[in-house]
Amino acid sequence: MDLPVLTYDERGLIPAVIQQYDTLEVLMVAWMDAEAVRRTIESGQTWFWSRSRKAYWNKGETSGHIQKVKDMRYDCDADTLLVLVDQVGVACHTGERTCFYRTLVSGVTEDSGTGSENTDNIPLS
């Protein structure tokens, strides 16, 4: 299989945005290297490179919360992947459906310029 040339960073990694294929909900972001990309394509399930453990991990291997790959895409610069999956169970290690369950600001619009809510009290400047 001939794959497009992807642009990996200096560590040999590329970010992968994981998205539910039917709702387009963003589930998580993780890192892949060329081997993780290959394993993902060959197995039909997501594989990532853990920067902290310095090891490969197959999402859901121990929890059963696997990600069945439906489509893989890359951006215009070939330096970010979008992996559309059918998520079985939850995606986040916290038990949440998505890793993006916390709000930094909400209600940001072109008119208001600022959000009305910063639920985690994170400084914005």
CATH of the domain at 18: 3.10.20.810
- What total number of domains does the chain contain? 1
Residue 29's pLDDT is: 99
The answer as to whether 7 is a domain residue is no
Please, how many CA atoms are within 13 Å of residue 46, restricted to the half-sphere of its CB? Answer: 35
User: Which residue range is the domain that position 34 belongs to?
Assistant: 14-87
DSSP type of residue 57:
E
pTM, 2 dp? 0.83
Return d(Cα 115, Cα 111) in angstroms, integer: 11
Instruction: List pLDDT tens digits, range 63-102.
Output: 999 999 999 999 999 999 999 999 999 999 999 999 999 9
Cβ burial, residue 49 (10 Å; 0-12/13-18/19+): buried
Average pLDDT, the chain: 91
The answer as to whether 32 is a domain residue is yes
Return d(Cα 12, Cα 31) in angstroms, integer: 10
